[in-house]
Copies of this chain bind each other. A is one copy, B any other.
Amino acid sequence: MAEIRRMIKIGYLGPKGTFSEEAAILYMDGRAGKITNCSSLEEVFAAVADGKLDQGVVPVENSTEGAVGAVLDLLAGPFDLFVRGEVYLPVRQSLLVRRGLELKQVERVCSHYQALAQCRSYLRRELPEASLAECSSTAEAARRVAKSSRPWAALAPERAAEEYDLQIIVPVANDYPDNVTRFWIVGREEKSCDPGQKCKTSLVFGVGDRPGALYAILREFAVRGINLTRIESRPAKKNLGDYLFFIDLMGGQEQPEVREALRKVAKVTFGMKILGSYPIWEAPDSGISPGTAGV
């Protein structure tokens, strides 16, 4: 009898043609699996939590627009999921229209709000009169433009042009050429890092109202030579001035100095959650690991 290996089921924010789909394909790297689209980030998280999907691929930060607040909030809050991996995807926003439409005729630009934000200066300069319409994803914007008979354009990945039979009139509309989005792979179980494997660990915590509280926390990492690659604050949603902090650090939880630092930090913070340890991303073919610079 042939051995049946269960195919891994992975979800992303669809519809087909989003950067999240591209990140999911990149993450799978040719391994057998089923990649499914979901209609919202919440749906990705819920489907993984319920066991309908094994893992989800969700955007966490972009080099132009910063953190994806909704994903950080979902991880800190309602869903008890863990980060199992990361993917860095170069992101080019193209301007897509129905065939024959010229740039100067465009009256409305549709896209996800992060994509609109990544192209803010371009749009203001080249299409100052056009209205901006927020869609649930870049691919949804392409779908909507393809369906409409009006002079609309979508900011979306180049590959969405093929998917929705649109024409690329501006190949790169993002304001910064080195636009990169980082994705997290989320799952129900923590992944442990193999000994010797280069890992990152991510965590979230609240700090009390005490001068020097954050300093005292960073100290626990600094004195142990642990390199923080990212620190992000999010409002704790109650009072303005109450923040949650998200930290990424180099190293896995099984390393004694990391374990010790996390134990100390847990004592002086509120509701600390270790989001997971996971292998740092290495771009295929390059061996280069982005996002490992210290802060």
Contact = CB atoms under 8 A, between A and B. Distances in A.
Given A132-B134, A180-B240, A215-B222, A295 B229 contact: no
Nearest to A243: B295
A233 B231 contact: yes
A210 interface: yes
A201 interface: no
A207 to B, nearest CB: 6
B66 A235 contact: yes
A189 interface: no
A239 interface: yes
B237 A176 contact: yes
Majority-rule SS of A interface residues: mixed
A79 B70 CA distance: 30
A199 interface: no
A207 B295 contact: yes
**Taking the full assembly, how many copies of this chain does it contain?**
2
Q: How large is the interface on A (under 10, 10 to 19, 20 to 34, 35 or more residues)?
A: 35 or more
A113 B134 contact: yes
A235 B63 contact: yes
A37 interface: no
A103 interface: no
A116 to B, nearest CB: 7
Nearest to A136: B132
Contacts of A213: 294-295
B134 A240 contact: no
A133 interface: yes
Given A132-B136, A214-B228, A294-B211, A63 B233 contact: no
Interface stretch (A16-24, A158-166, A285-293): A285-293
A290 B239 contact: yes
A39 to B, nearest CB: 10
Contacts of A237: 63-64, 176
Nearest to A209: B293
Contacts of A227: 211-212
A238 interface: yes
Nearest to A210: B294
